């Protein structure tokens, strides 16, 4: 697995050279580099970041909602579906249907998923608050264990603990059943439990009003510093970034992200929305985007919804798309800050894909090969890849694709199984077993064609 990135780079460089030097019409291109990206996801991917949105399961059936999601975003956060009241309304009875819908949608489009949230004072069913100390500790750890086990391997980052600090100048912990009964140690305990359940998920602390330096953000900073010093597992800090005229983007926003990053954690903008309209709103969105890009460990931005009409504060029109899914000036400001260009000219919007090949298993008489198809700087709806084998090799089985063969029996054209949609920068893989019949040559993977 470690070897894969090393294989990717030379291939990508060759593709770029081919594009640039020969000026030929090629069907491959490196996401965001061969062409200026014209989507949020594609232009963020070109900068090594993700661009996500909060998603509500009950809107996925609305075609404009789903198509905007699929075209513009490569990460999702369930807006309410993973909260305690949604998944464990009754003690030890877990309901995952709505959250599963979002996760499977995301997986089918190779989008990242941010898990939100495991331990939070809000949207907490009444029974949790009624438990005694010992029982509450058991219930908290059980909740983390059950939910993280259900989604194990599918979550990029979990908001393990959400909003544990008070607003204002005290820097104190917020009163909650967890704080009041378990004391300060509950946060550490939650993170330790989380790490033991899914060691591959990034574990985040997430909060609001921590976006600039303040008593509250200083308190979170002190906690994260202490966790890092004592080896308490924490990987990231989420800055919700809910802004309006009373709470504008702080002037030290970037510096605040940077000081947390300097503690050795990733930082993420997790629930971005900015009330307003027109140029003023656009300017603030641009500032936030630029700040994230300026901080190496700022790994991505998530906005808290797609069209204004579905925002938790829709009257403030805080999002990037209007009620008809038209792109607002704020959208253009974000795209431009990400280095993207609006569709139309300049090659933006061209469907492209690239491939990488890996030999994933070897036996004495056969080997498995895997081809990963990655969409370029625009979302694609279909792809096709030719793979040429050397006689007397024979392919005995294939998976995760629909193959057709040329008359020689040596050239396989692989297409998607069913829906071939990939978000910009997103990947999918297909595989095959090659009976060597004495010839162990790697197959030749031809150009990737996308539409």
Cβ proximity to ligand G2I: between 57 and 282 the closer is 57
Bridge partner residues of 207 (DSSP): 239
Cβ proximity to ligand G2I: between 33 and 270 the closer is 270
**How far is 76 from 56, CA to CA, in rounded Å?**
10
Cβ proximity to ligand G2I: between 244 and 368 the closer is 244
Query: At its nearest, how many Å lie between ligand G2I and the CB of residue 271?
Result: 5
Query: At its nearest, how many Å lie between ligand G2I and the CB of residue 99?
Result: 13
Is residue 81 a contact point for ligand G2I (CB under 6 A)?
A: no
Strands (DSSP E) found in 216-291: 236-239, 242-243, 266-274
DSSP string, 338-367: TT---SSSTTTT---EEEEEEEEEE-SSEE
**At a CB cut-off of 8 Å and minimum separation 6, what does 165 contact?**
171, 172, 173, 174, 207, 210, 216, 219, 220
Cβ proximity to ligand G2I: between 39 and 270 the closer is 270
Residue nearest to ligand G2I (CB): 312
Size of the site for ligand G2I (CB under 6 A): 8
Query: At its nearest, how many Å lie between ligand G2I and the CB of residue 90?
Result: 17
Q: 202 with 268: CB under 8 angstroms?
A: no
b/e 160-199 (16+ beta carbons within 10 angstroms → b): bbbbbbbeeeebebbebbbbebbeeebbbbbbbbbbebbe
As a whole number of Å, the end-to-end CA separation of the chain is: 29
Query: At its nearest, how many Å lie between ligand G2I and the CB of residue 86?
Result: 9
Query: At its nearest, how many Å lie between ligand G2I and the CB of residue 246?
Result: 15
Cβ proximity to ligand G2I: between 29 and 305 the closer is 305
Instruction: Point out the catalytic residue in the list 79, 163, 189, 275.
Output: 163
Is residue 80 a contact point for ligand G2I (CB under 6 A)?
A: yes
Pairs from 170-175 (Cβ < 8 Å, separation ≥ 24): 170/215, 171/215, 171/216, 171/218, 171/219, 171/222, 172/219, 174/121, 175/121
User: How many Cα atoms are found within 13 Å in the side-chain-facing hemisphere of 87?
Assistant: 25
Closest CA to 270 of 424, 386, 385, 112: 112
Catalytic, 271? Answer yes
- The CA–CA distances, whole Å, from 255 to 212, 213, 259, 439, 445 equal 8, 8, 6, 58, 46
Cβ proximity to ligand G2I: between 240 and 372 the closer is 240
Query: At its nearest, how many Å lie between ligand G2I and the CB of residue 70?
Result: 21
Closest CA to 18 of 7, 33, 5: 33
Is residue 176 a contact point for ligand G2I (CB under 6 A)?
A: no
The residues in 390-409 that bind ligand G2I, with binding defined as CB under 6 A, are none
Cβ proximity to ligand G2I: between 179 and 240 the closer is 240
| Contact pick of 104, 122, 149, 419 for ligand G2I (by CB under 6 A) | 122
Cβ proximity to ligand G2I: between 303 and 445 the closer is 303
Query: At its nearest, how many Å lie between ligand G2I and the CB of residue 117?
Result: 7
b/e 228-243 (16+ beta carbons within 10 angstroms → b): eeeebbbbbbbbbbbb
The residues in 298-327 that bind ligand G2I, with binding defined as CB under 6 A, are 312
Query: At its nearest, how many Å lie between ligand G2I and the CB of residue 276?
Result: 17
**At a CB cut-off of 8 Å and minimum separation 6, what does 350 contact?**
29, 35, 376, 377, 378
Closest CA to 305 of 290, 322, 289, 293: 322
The residues in 225-244 that bind ligand G2I, with binding defined as CB under 6 A, are 240
**How far is 440 from 390, CA to CA, in rounded Å?**
9
| Bond before 45 cis per omega within 30 degrees | no
Q: Where are the alpha helices (DSSP H) in 130-214?
A: 133-150, 177-182, 185-197
**How far is 67 from 207, CA to CA, in rounded Å?**
30
Query: At its nearest, how many Å lie between ligand G2I and the CB of residue 122?
Result: 5
Pairing type for strands 394-399 and 427-435 reads: antiparallel
Is residue 123 a contact point for ligand G2I (CB under 6 A)?
A: yes
The residues in 262-291 that bind ligand G2I, with binding defined as CB under 6 A, are 271
Is residue 72 a contact point for ligand G2I (CB under 6 A)?
A: no
Cβ proximity to ligand G2I: between 80 and 370 the closer is 80
Residues that are catalytic: 163, 271
Binding site for ligand G2I (CB under 6 A): 79-80, 122-123, 208, 240, 271, 312
């Amino acid at each position: 697995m470690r070897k894969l990135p090393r294989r990717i780079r030379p291939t990508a460089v060759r593709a770029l050279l081919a594009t640039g030097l020969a000026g030929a019409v090629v069907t491959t291109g490196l996401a965001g580099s061969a062409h200026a990206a014209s989507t949020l996801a594609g232009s963020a991917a070109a900068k090594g970041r993700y661009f996500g949105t909060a998603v509500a399961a009950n809107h996925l059936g609305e075609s404009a909602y789903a198509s905007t999601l699929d075209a513009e975003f490569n990460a999702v956060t369930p807006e309410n579906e993973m909260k305690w009241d949604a998944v464990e309304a009754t003690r030890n009875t877990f309901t995952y249907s709505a959250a599963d819908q979002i996760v499977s949608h995301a997986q089918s489009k190779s989008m990242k998923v941010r898990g939100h949230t495991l331990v939070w004072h809000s949207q907490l069913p009444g029974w949790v608050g009624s438990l005694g100390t010992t029982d509450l500790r058991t219930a908290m750890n059980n909740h983390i264990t059950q939910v993280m086990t259900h989604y194990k391997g599918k979550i990029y980052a979990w908001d393990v603990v959400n909003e544990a600090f008070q607003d204002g100048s005290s820097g104190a912990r917020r009163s909650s059943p967890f704080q009041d009964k378990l004391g300060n140690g509950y946060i550490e305990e939650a993170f330790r439990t989380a790490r033991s359940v899914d060691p591959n998920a990034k574990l985040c602390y997430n909060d609001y009003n921590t976006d600039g330096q303040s008593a509250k953000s200083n308190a979170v900073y002190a906690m994260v510093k202490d966790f890092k010093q004592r080896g308490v597992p924490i990987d990231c800090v989420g800055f919700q970034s809910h802004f309006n005229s009373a709470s504008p983007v702080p002037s030290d926003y970037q510096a605040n992200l940077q000081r947390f990053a300097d503690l050795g954690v990733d930082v993420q903008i997790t629930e971005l929305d900015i009330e307003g309209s027109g140029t003023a709103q656009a300017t603030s969105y641009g500032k936030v985007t630029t700040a994230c890009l300026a901080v190496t460990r700022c790994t991505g931005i998530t906005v808290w919804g797609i069209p204004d009409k579905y925002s938790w504060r829709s009257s403030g029109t805080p999002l990037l798309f209007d009620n008809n899914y038209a792109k607002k000036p704020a959208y253009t400001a974000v795209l431009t800050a990400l280095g993207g260009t609006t569709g139309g000219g300049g090659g933006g919007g061209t469907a492209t894909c690239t491939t990488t090949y890996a030999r994933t298993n070897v036996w004495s008489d056969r080997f498995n090969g895997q081809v990963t198809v990655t969409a370029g700087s625009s979302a694609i709806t279909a792809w096709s890849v030719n793979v040429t084998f050397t006689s007397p090799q024979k392919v005995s089985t294939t998976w995760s694709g629909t193959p057709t063969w040329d008359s020689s029996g040596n050239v396989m054209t692989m297409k998607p199984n069913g829906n071939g949609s990939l978000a910009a920068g997103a990947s999918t893989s297909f595989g095959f077993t090659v009976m060597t019949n004495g010839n162990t040559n790697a197959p030749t993977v031809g150009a990737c064609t996308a539409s």
